[in-house]
Amino acid sequence: MAKKYLMPKLAMAMNQGTINEWLIDHGEQFDKDAPLATIETEKVAYDVAAPEGGYLCIIEPAGETVECDTLIAWICETVEEVEQYAKQTAGADTSAVQTTVDALKLPDKTVPVPVKPIDNGARIIASPLAKKMAKNSGLNLNLVNGTGPNGRIVKRDVNDALSEDLHLQSASTSLAKSREIIRIPMTGMRKVISERMMQSLQSTAQLSSSWESDITDLMAVRKKFVDRQESLGTKISVNAFLIRAIAYAIRQVPIANACFDGDEIVIYDNINIGIAISMPGSTEYDSGLIVAVLHNVERMGLVEIDIEMKALTERVRSGQSRPEDLSGSTITLSSTAGIAPPGMTTTPVLNLPNASLVGPSTPIKRPVVHNDEITVRTMLPVSFTFDHCLLDGEPAARFMSALHDALENPELMLA
């Protein structure tokens, strides 16, 4: 008897998920623990494994967003059950199901015969999303090498093929069609990011100020730590110094570590720094952004900050984040260092409910006046975005000055 496969609840705060991609084709046989689908929550995309083996009867197609514990597929014992349960489930496309079932019928039910992709019109093993993307872009799937389970063509394979202009080799593709960029639905993480950025801009009086800090001495101190990385257990990053500098500045100006709670301003005693982490997708069009939270940095030394920050980033990017990793920030660090052009200044959008955000960019070496002499120094562009409803110009300026002092005088943050 077939068993229900429900939208899994992958996090405590998860109420619904988006089926990014089915990694097993409708009607196809698979084993227990095989990659079954990519499910995207508001913050992270996960590859979920099959709880047991069988034949897949897809009820909810790729791209659909459904509530947790909602039926999205059946795990059937036989190919014939796929047809049966698809017909029983409202909204199933039984004609498509019949085509798949006929293609998978076996001459000997005790000996499964694998289906291999064949050129010239025969069945190609590809996920539903990959087929849809290929159809929309005019891509001939016979030209694509599959890297998914059992050589299946999946989303990343189609993206790779399109990026290599293989779609131009398809005789059926018109010039106008080959120029069309893939259309990606605003769902999952991308939709949430869009909504929250608009909410942030519409509900706060945001102001950004920028300056440069001379981090030549800071980089010299960092080199001493890097030289001892084997004994310390980590290669200290510049971000670790930035986090210590932010903690130092907050101790001087506590209201920078605050938010609104209804009609009250809440100033936090502990410093929980939200770190903006990029989540690369298979292309630049489906990347995302998650703010992970490093808690209680006021209690940490520089080495501990660096170790904990790297462990946090690894958990988030590997889909192993814990609920506390993604909540409770009191101020945000959003760095574009190493990504933005050297010397560029950014004006990031506030991460609600935080009222403050520090946005360092890529350092640049250039001539400046230092000790009344012109010399080449390493300058770090820094911006500070704050909610003017909560922070007036005077405390905001004092916070920026304290942060600037810590960056230019690293002994302050190491005390």
| Non-local CB neighbours of 282 within 8 Å, separated by 6+ positions | 155, 156, 159, 160
* pLDDT number for residue 85: 87
According to DSSP, the β-strands at 364-370 and 373-387 are antiparallel
CATH fold label, 188-414:
Chloramphenicol Acetyltransferase (3.30.559)
102-111, 254-263, 306-315: least confidently modelled range: 102-111
* pLDDT number for residue 120: 44
The answer to whether the Cα torsion of 360, 362, 368, 371 is positive or negative is positive
DSSP string, 10-30: -STT--EEEEEEESS-TT-EE
* pLDDT number for residue 174: 46
* pLDDT number for residue 95: 42
Using the CB atoms, write b or e for 401-411: b if 16+ within 10 Å: ebbbbbbbbbe
pLDDT-based confidence at residue 283 (cuts at 50, 70, 90): low
pLDDT at 282 over 90: no
3-class DSSP state of 40: strand
* pLDDT number for residue 89: 72
What is the mean predicted confidence (pLDDT) over 255-284?
87
Q: What is the DSSP letter of 181?
A: P
Q: How far, in whole angstroms, is CA 34 from its chain's centroid?
A: 23
Q: Is 108 or 374 the better-scoring residue by pLDDT?
A: 374
pLDDT at 179 over 70: no
pLDDT at 165 over 60: no
Q: Is 269 or 129 the better-scoring residue by pLDDT?
A: 269
The per-residue pLDDT for range 286-299, each reduced to its tens digit, is 667 889 999 999 99
CA–CA separation, 30 and 163 (whole Å) = 30
pLDDT-based confidence at residue 102 (cuts at 50, 70, 90): very low
- 260, 353 contact by CB (below 8 A): yes
Q: How far, in whole angstroms, is CA 174 from its chain's centroid?
A: 34
pLDDT at 267 over 60: yes
Share of the chain above pLDDT 90, in %: 49
The mean of the pLDDT values for the chain is: 83
pLDDT-based confidence at residue 63 (cuts at 50, 70, 90): confident
- 384, 358 contact by CB (below 8 A): yes
pLDDT at 140 over 60: yes
* pLDDT number for residue 181: 62
- 399, 204 contact by CB (below 8 A): no
pLDDT-based confidence at residue 279 (cuts at 50, 70, 90): confident
What is the mean predicted confidence (pLDDT) over 97-123?
42
* pLDDT number for residue 138: 78
Residue 259, phi then psi, degrees to nearest 5: -155, 170
What is the mean predicted confidence (pLDDT) over 137-161?
81
* pLDDT number for residue 284: 60
Structure tokens at 54: 């069988």
DSSP string, 97-134: HHHHHHHH--SSTTS-------STTS---B-HHHHHHH
Structure tokens at 308: 């904990």
pLDDT-based confidence at residue 17 (cuts at 50, 70, 90): confident
Q: Determine the Cα angle at 278 with ends 164 and 378, to 5°.
A: 105
What is the mean predicted confidence (pLDDT) over 342-363?
93
Q: Is 137 or 269 the better-scoring residue by pLDDT?
A: 269
What are the domain boundaries of the chain?
Answer: 3-178, 188-414
13-22, 67-76, 290-299, 334-343: least confidently modelled range: 13-22
Q: Is 415 or 205 the better-scoring residue by pLDDT?
A: 205
pLDDT at 341 over 80: yes
* pLDDT number for residue 389: 93
* pLDDT number for residue 128: 73
For domain 3-178, give the CATH number: 2.40.50.100
* pLDDT number for residue 123: 61
* pLDDT number for residue 117: 40
DSSP string, 262-304: TTEEEE-SS--EEEEEEE--SSGGG-EEEEEEE--GGG--HHH
3-class DSSP state of 174: coil
* pLDDT number for residue 381: 97
The per-residue pLDDT for range 24-33, each reduced to its tens digit, is 989 999 999 8
* pLDDT number for residue 40: 80
What is the mean predicted confidence (pLDDT) over 104-119?
39
* pLDDT number for residue 11: 66
